[in-house]
Amino acid sequence: MGWTPADIPDLTGRRAVVTGANAGLGLEIAHGLAARGAAVVLACRNTAKAEAAADAIRARTRGAAVEVGWLDLGDLESVAAFAATQSGPLDLLVNNAGVMAIDEARTAQGVEMQYGVNHLGHFALIARLLPLLLATPGSRVGSMSSMGHRAARGQADPRIERRYDRWQAYFQSKLANLLFTAELQRRLAAAGATTVAVAAHPGASNTDLGTEGSSFANRTLRFAPLFGQSAEVGARPMLRALTDPTVAGGEFYGPRFVFRGTTPVRETPTRAARDAAAARRLWATSIELSGLTPAFV
């Protein structure tokens, strides 16, 4: 029998920040951590929905320590404001929030929105919270990628210098999540840090991701609940990556079966996601676009 949520160790005294935790995968990840005793911050753009999500977690787990923080990953000033509210130990940072195949849009700083929310906003968040993570022994940074990274052609176009392709923009942002995880782990290891970077994907899960766009393909995603697995099951690969003591830095987890993946297993990302030179280029571009340089001392 494989790994199940029952294998999550006692997390009492641990503290986690989960982005996009007001619904779907983020909500289930936050609940899974809180149910084992972690204090969890739901970092969300819609704080009304996040408060409702916090109430739902408390209803499911009596005594759950859950709070809400406002975070808009599409605005780097919001990222800075949220990070300024955080202090003390930080054991787990879960980069879960994302958008998929949306109509063409830009962040507050003029970056393509899918790249900006799915990757750059999280890069900036980690840059600002890295001192807390490094000061917390055994901390982990988990980034939610997608099996869609396998369909990425080339690298992201954050300035939209080419014709906008909603699906390639999404696939490339998910490839960026894995390249970033690899480069972050390389730098953490080089610094001798006990913090590690990991990644996961949920398989085909029933969430509202991708339904915001106006294309025909976006509209068909509303029928996904007829075929996919629950968000609770889709959250399991990330929960394992975050909590399993046997997980090593840089590893990538997904469901054993895409549509019915009750058991999360280690996966191998594409060759493009393992390109060390591409990962270094992404890191440099992220510094340029965010104006932030993560410090590992």
89 phi, psi to nearest 5 deg: -60, 150
Ramachandran quadrant class, 88 (left: phi over 0; alpha: psi -120 to 50; beta: rest)? left
Three-state DSSP class for residue 178: helix
253 flagged as catalytic: no
Distance CA 278, CA 248 (A): 22
Distance CA 172, CA 234 (A): 21
**Residue 118 DSSP symbol:** I
**DSSP calls for 247-270:** --TT-EEEESSSSS--SEEEE---
List of E strands, 161-241: 196-200
In the set 115, 164, 170, 253, the catalytic residue is 170
The two most distant CA atoms of the chain are separated, in Å, by 51
Burial of 155 (0-12, 13-18, 19+ CB in 10 A): middle
Three-state DSSP class for residue 273: helix
In angstroms, the first-to-last Cα distance of the chain is 41
Give every CB contact of residue 196 below 8 A, 6+ residues apart in sequence: 139, 140, 141, 185, 188, 247, 248, 249, 250
**Residue 103 DSSP symbol:** P
Residues identified as active-site: 170
